[in-house]
Amino acid sequence: MHVRDFSEDELLGLIRPHLPRAEGIEVPSGDDCAVIGLAADSVAISTDMLVEGSHYRPEWSTGYDVGWRAAMQNAADAAAMGARPVSFVAALSVPGDRDVEWLVEFARGMGQAARRFGAGVDGGDLTRGPATAGVTVVGDLSGRPPVLRSGARPGDRLIHCGVLGWSAAGLHFLTSGAVAPECASVLPADGERSPAPNGRAPDGPDAVVAVYKRPNPPVDLALAACAAGRIRALMDVSDGLVRDARRMAEASNVGIDIDPAALKCDVDGLVCAGVRRELAKGMVLGGGEDHGFLATTPNSVPEGWRQIGSVRELDPGDERESGGFVTYGGRNVPKGTGWDHFRAERV
Amino acid sequence: MHVRDFSEDELLGLIRPHLPRAEGIEVPSGDDCAVIGLAADSVAISTDMLVEGSHYRPEWSTGYDVGWRAAMQNAADAAAMGARPVSFVAALSVPGDRDVEWLVEFARGMGQAARRFGAGVDGGDLTRGPATAGVTVVGDLSGRPPVLRSGARPGDRLIHCGVLGWSAAGLHFLTSGAVAPECASVLPADGERSPAPNGRAPDGPDAVVAVYKRPNPPVDLALAACAAGRIRALMDVSDGLVRDARRMAEASNVGIDIDPAALKCDVDGLVCAGVRRELAKGMVLGGGEDHGFLATTPNSVPEGWRQIGSVRELDPGDERESGGFVTYGGRNVPKGTGWDHFRAERV
């Protein structure tokens, strides 16, 4: 059965059972808006677009994978402000000849990801068209000030939690045909934690493919560090470590030095998983969509995080285009290194 | 110049000047999330998907029109809860060969529509792909309870503000080639009110085409009536009067009687504008995307609204499928009358 064989109401009836409600829900999906109660009178909001063929390929990612990823990458954006993801809404366009099971799986994946945080999927819009999903997260700051990427100060430690380069390595294995897209053996069962612990080497190609298909940002670690007041600047790493570090450096008007020794285990881990060494470093430094967290702190390293560099003053002679904002092993990293969706260049 | 000739950052630099910020903005676009201060600790949220070729045709609607409509139809959803639209975020997918001017015009149209309410366009995601836009609105209830579609009670007046059938008539004129898509003479200049007053006949074909291209929901009238405490049930009319009235009736478990005499002026107005009489009634009753407001009140009719029917108890013998929920001139309106995006049937 294809989606065009059902009315909109019938399709909503099929997917609604898979969608949890926000804990603070005041008006659930079904009216003109959902209404969500927050712990305080400000809201963090972010939106992401997933385009089939660009952000995922249907032959590699199931509907469940896509729904999961749509929720997770938005959850990471909320947590990157120190906000708890409390609710998602999804604007979804689906081709008429898509099997309706794909849509149900999308809802199930998104719902399971939302449940991870006690969040809801509290609204959406469903229409026929090319497969794209615009997903928006509502984040609750609970009265705490948001943690900005502009807060880094000279002398801070540069810290990270999550994985680096696993998603890029997973994409590489799928592209090269080295891994069957199912790799079902290592994908976590519903509700289980996907294999993305900090600082651990992947067990093999399947483990990094699993992160590509179902990223699992360590939202709890980010929120715990924020709640403890230990974090001065914070962002999620979605476009590659060096590109996002540069954004933090520019926003904070500081220099950031990344320590190669701290990333050696990440590079070695990808090599152990089967990535050629000459590719592994680029994946760790430039690979996107791992959705770990990059932060700075003047204090000790919070549990579950690790130090990967330090923050310094900008030299007066540094020019923005020269790359003085970010160094790796003492060498400037040129601006533009990393992923750009429009030019689709990868350096 | 096409969008693929620019980096994402360059494109954002081009469109950002056209985007206002929410009045309560605490963290503007540029970090992982925008943070918006609200008057109280709950938020109304809704999202809509616009698909090129389905919701609009690029040969009829400019980028400005599409951006305007994306904001307006979401604003109507917020107002339909009694919430003031305070902020929008947009997930936008644009083909690489699209002229960059289209993107700038989209931003300008969305920005101008947001300004109408003092709202911001405070975040987004821009990616390459088929032209689709998922736009989300943040609505501020200011501590008042939301006004639901389920609140209608027997004895209430059924009231409406805005236009009925104009958007459908505009689409009809464009489809039949009776009106040139530009019809620039009647499109409102930036910041002006588009010609959609209540109960007035359209001046001609151009006037209804203008509503199709740039709907102008009477958000102020809806919010004023809610603030005065006069409204018991409220929704925006996006899928046609009878279809949406049925949703209100089902949600409230009441019957709704629509009075043909009250809609005669709407039908006559479309006929005057050049619509054949045998089509005009269907447009008034079934045409979508006018984004007026349907409400019920136990009190007198608020200023700017008009009564178009009444609310009664459901007869014990009424069955949901029989259509007893909604009558027009005493005759049952069958379920399913109106617009369905998936089956694309129009009755």
For an interface test with B, which of A35, A87, A234, A340 has the most B Cβ atoms less than 10 Å from its Cβ?
A35
What pLDDT was estimated at residue B179? Answer: 76
- Per-residue pLDDT of A222-238, as tens digits, reads 999 999 998 999 999 99
**Are residues A248 and A182 in contact, defined by beta-carbon separation less than 8 angstroms?**
no
The minimum CA-CA distance between B274 and chain A, rounded to whole Å, is 31
The minimum CA-CA distance between A159 and chain B, rounded to whole Å, is 17
Q: What is the C-alpha to C-alpha distance for residues A319 and A255, in angstroms, rounded to an integer?
A: 11
For an interface test with B, which of A6, A32, A223 has the most B Cβ atoms less than 10 Å from its Cβ?
A32
Q: What is the C-alpha to C-alpha distance for residues B68 and B60, in angstroms, rounded to an integer?
A: 14
Instruction: Report residue A212's pLDDT band, with 50, 70 and 90 as the boundaries.
Output: very high
Unique residue bearing structure tokens 């760790």: A284
- Per-residue pLDDT of A89-120, as tens digits, reads 999 999 999 999 999 999 999 999 999 999 99
* B127/A341 Cβ within 8 A: yes
Question: Helix, strand or coil for residue B76?
Answer: helix
Q: What is the C-alpha to C-alpha distance for residues B85 and B135, in angstroms, rounded to an integer?
A: 13
Cα-flanking dihedrals φ and ψ of residue B7, to 5°?
Answer: -80, 165
Domain residue ranges in chain A: 3-140, 149-332
Cβ neighbours of B43 in A, within 8 Å: 35-36, 38, 43, 138
Written as one string, the DSSP assignment of B319-342 is -GGGTTTEEETTEEPPTT-SB-TT
* A91/B33 Cβ within 8 A: no
- Per-residue pLDDT of A319-336, as tens digits, reads 555 558 999 999 988 876
Taking the alpha carbons at both ends of chain B, their separation in whole angstroms is 43
Cβ neighbours of B35 in A, within 8 Å: 42-45, 81, 83, 141, 146
* A32/B235 Cβ within 8 A: yes
Side by side, which strands form the sheet with A120-128? A120-128, A84-94, A132-140, A42-51, B34-37, B25-27
> Which has the minimum average pLDDT: A48-52, A152-156, A311-315?
A311-315
The closest CB to that of B8, out of A54, A132, A340, belongs to A340
Taking the alpha carbons at both ends of chain A, their separation in whole angstroms is 43
The minimum CA-CA distance between A273 and chain B, rounded to whole Å, is 31
Annotated binding-site ranges of A for ATP: 124-125, 149, 238
> Searching chain A, which residue's CA lies closest to the CA of residue B291?
A32
* B132/A93 Cβ within 8 A: yes
Question: Helix, strand or coil for residue B128?
Answer: strand
Written as six digits, the tokens of A11 are: 């399709």
Q: What is the CATH number of domain A3-140?
A: 3.30.1330.10
Question: Helix, strand or coil for residue B94?
Answer: strand
How many residues does this entry show for chain B? 347
Cα-flanking dihedrals φ and ψ of residue B181, to 5°?
Answer: -60, -25
**Are residues A168 and A288 in contact, defined by beta-carbon separation less than 8 angstroms?**
yes
**The complex's ipTM?**
0.89
For an interface test with B, which of A8, A21, A25, A47 has the most B Cβ atoms less than 10 Å from its Cβ?
A47
Residue B155: CB atoms within 10 A of its CB come to 12
* B41/A40 Cβ within 8 A: yes
Annotated binding-site ranges of A for Mg(2+): 32, 46-48, 77, 125, 236, 239
The closest CB to that of B47, out of A36, A89, A141, belongs to A89
The closest CB to that of B33, out of A44, A336, A341, belongs to A44
What pLDDT was estimated at residue B195? Answer: 43
Cβ neighbours of A39 in B, within 8 Å: 41
Cβ neighbours of B341 in A, within 8 Å: 8, 126-128
Sign of CA dihedral B88, B144, A140, B80: negative
Q: What is the C-alpha to C-alpha distance for residues B174 and B151, in angstroms, rounded to an integer?
A: 38
* B343/A35 Cβ within 8 A: no
What pLDDT was estimated at residue A308? Answer: 98
Cβ neighbours of B9 in A, within 8 Å: 340
> Searching chain B, which residue's CA lies closest to the CA of residue A148?
B31
Side by side, which strands form the sheet with A255-258? A233-237, A292-297, A157-161, A306-312, A255-258, A326-328, A331-332
What pLDDT was estimated at residue A23? Answer: 87
Alpha-carbon radius of gyration of chain B: 20
How many residues does this entry show for chain A? 347
Low-confidence stretches of chain B (pLDDT < 70) are 180-200, 316-323, 336-347
- Closest of A339, A148, A157 to residue A258, by C-alpha: A157
Residue A121 in this model has a pLDDT that exceeds 70: yes
What pLDDT was estimated at residue B39? Answer: 86
- Chain center to CA of A125: 23
The closest CB to that of B38, out of A42, A130, A344, belongs to A42
B339 is in an annotated binding site: yes
> Which has the minimum average pLDDT: A165-169, A188-192, A254-258, B159-163?
A188-192
Cβ neighbours of A100 in B, within 8 Å: none
Cβ neighbours of A236 in B, within 8 Å: 32
* A127/B55 Cβ within 8 A: yes
- Closest of B123, B199, B340 to residue A139, by C-alpha: B123
Written as six digits, the tokens of A100 are: 């309706």
The minimum CA-CA distance between B256 and chain A, rounded to whole Å, is 18
Cβ neighbours of A91 in B, within 8 Å: 47-49, 91, 134-136
**Are residues B27 and B35 in contact, defined by beta-carbon separation less than 8 angstroms?**
yes
B46 is in an annotated binding site: yes
Cβ neighbours of A132 in B, within 8 Å: 49, 93, 129-130, 132, 134
Residue A343 in this model has a pLDDT that exceeds 60: no
Written as six digits, the tokens of B18 are: 């056209």
Burial annotation A155-168 (CB, 10 A radius, 16+ → b, else e)? ebbbbbbbbbbbbb
What pLDDT was estimated at residue A127? Answer: 93
The third-level CATH classification (topology) of the domain covering A149-332 is Phosphoribosyl-aminoimidazole Synthetase; Chain A, domain 2 (3.90.650)
Query: Residue A304 — left, alpha, or beta (φ > 0 → left; ψ -120 to 50 → alpha)?
Result: left
Q: What is the C-alpha to C-alpha distance for residues A289 and A236, in angstroms, rounded to an integer?
A: 9
Written as six digits, the tokens of B303 are: 């200023």
**Are residues A75 and A215 in contact, defined by beta-carbon separation less than 8 angstroms?**
no
What pLDDT was estimated at residue A345? Answer: 36
* B31/A150 Cβ within 8 A: yes
Residue B347: CB atoms within 10 A of its CB come to 15
**Secondary structure element (H or E) that encloses residue B85, with its range:** strand B84-94
SS (H, E, C) chain A: CEHHHCCHHHHHHHHHHHCCCCCCEEECECECCEEEECCCCEEEEEEEEEEECCCECCCCCCHHHHHHHHHHHHHHHHHCCCCEEEEEEEEEEECCCCEHHHHHHHHHHHHHHHHCCCCEEEEEEEEECCCEEEEEEEEECCCCCCCCHHHCCCCCEEEEECCCCHHHHHHHHHHHCCCCCCCCCCCCCCCCCCCCCCCCCCCCHHHHHHHHHCCCCCHHHHHHHHHCCCCCEEEEECCCHHHHHHHHHHHHCCEEEECHHHHHHHHHHHHHCCCCHHHHHHHHHHCCCCCEEEEEECCCCCCCCEEEEEEECCCCCCCHHHCCCEEECCEECCCCCCECCCCCCEC
| pLDDT, chain A, mean | 89
With 0-12 CB in 10 A as exposed, 13-18 as middle and 19+ as buried, what is B191?
exposed
Annotated binding-site ranges of A for substrate: 55, 289, 339
Angle CA B154–B292–B240, to nearest 5: 75
* B130/A130 Cβ within 8 A: yes
The closest CB to that of A45, out of B133, B138, B141, belongs to B138
Annotated binding-site ranges of A: 32, 46-48, 55, 77, 124-125, 149, 236, 238-239, 289, 339
What pLDDT was estimated at residue A319? Answer: 55
What pLDDT was estimated at residue A228? Answer: 94
